[in-house]
Amino acid sequence: MIYFDFDRTLLDTDALKAEQERRIAQITELTIEQVNEGMHAYIASLDTHLHFSPDGYAVFLANRFNIDQNQVLKVYLTDSNYISEYLFPEVLEVLAELKNRGVELGVFSGAMFGHQKVKIERSGITEFISWKSILVTPQKLDLQVLSKIPSNALVVDDDIAVVTTLVTQAPTLFPVWCNRKTSDQAPGIKTIHSLKDLL
């Protein structure tokens, strides 16, 4: 079985965020700078960025700039089919090939479930990954959460801190670092630079 982190492993989250900021600016007539400043202020108000929720952000932005929060929610929820355009190019091909080979696939993501559920649904990956194999929680590295992943599963993540934590805290799992940014390898840890390296 293979579990994939979602943001920055399957999804180009930074490009998606830039597009969402552009759409929010367009629909609310705020500037990109105002939207960006609002996002930074909202994230700073949270215990951790992993607690981001579209509802909370919409209320925060509405109060800060006197706009309709429903306009912001449209970008994240009702009019969000564009999310599928931000999967990394090889993702659907690799997921399809792995599923074809009989490999069970899952998602292991550190985020608020409601927000991530929408992104996962809109991305189109649920054609290959069953909801029963999707673990989404801000407490991603809690031992209680890790215990839900079957022994001997590969766990593919872009965050080297997560991968190294898995090495020490979850010895029955096989962490894989998906380093899309550089050609660096992690000593003693399987490193890939594209999901195609799993085939």
Per residue in 71-91, pLDDT tens? Answer: 999 999 988 899 999 999 999
| Domain that includes residue 159, residue range | 2-12+86-198
Strand ranges in 26-182 using DSSP code E only, listed in sequence order: 105-109, 134-136, 154-157, 174-178
Helix-helix angle 32-44:54-65, to 10 degrees: 120
Give the Cα separation of 39 and 146 in Å (integer).
Answer: 30
What is the pLDDT at residue 78?
A: 86
Q: Is the domain of 24 the same as that of 109?
A: no
Domain count, the chain: 2
Q: Is the domain of 76 the same as that of 105?
A: no
What is the pLDDT at residue 48?
A: 94
Q: Is the domain of 101 the same as that of 155?
A: yes
Q: Is the domain of 72 the same as that of 61?
A: yes
Give the Cα separation of 54 and 142 in Å (integer).
Answer: 24
Q: Is the domain of 98 the same as that of 190?
A: yes
Q: Is the domain of 67 the same as that of 130?
A: no
> The domain that contains 142 carries what CATH number?
3.40.50.1000
pTM: 0.95
Q: Which two tokens stand for residue 47?
A: 């215990």
With a pLDDT cut of 70, the percent of the chain lying above it is 100
Q: Which two tokens stand for residue 175?
A: 């962490």
User: What single letter denotes the amino acid at residue 86?
Assistant: Y
- Higher pLDDT: 122 or 80? It is 122
Mean pLDDT, rounded, for 148-167: 97
Give the Cα separation of 26 and 128 in Å (integer).
Answer: 34
In 3D, which of 36, 30, 31 has the Cα closest to residue 14? 36
Mean pLDDT, rounded, for 26-31: 96
Give the Cα separation of 11 and 166 in Å (integer).
Answer: 21
- On whether the CB atoms of residues 129 and 107 are closer than 8 A, the answer is yes
pLDDT of residue 135 exceeding 90, the answer is yes
Q: Is the domain of 111 the same as that of 169?
A: yes
Give the Cα separation of 149 and 8 in Å (integer).
Answer: 20
Mean pLDDT, rounded, for 42-56: 96
Q: Is the domain of 79 the same as that of 101?
A: no
- On whether the CB atoms of residues 2 and 105 are closer than 8 A, the answer is yes
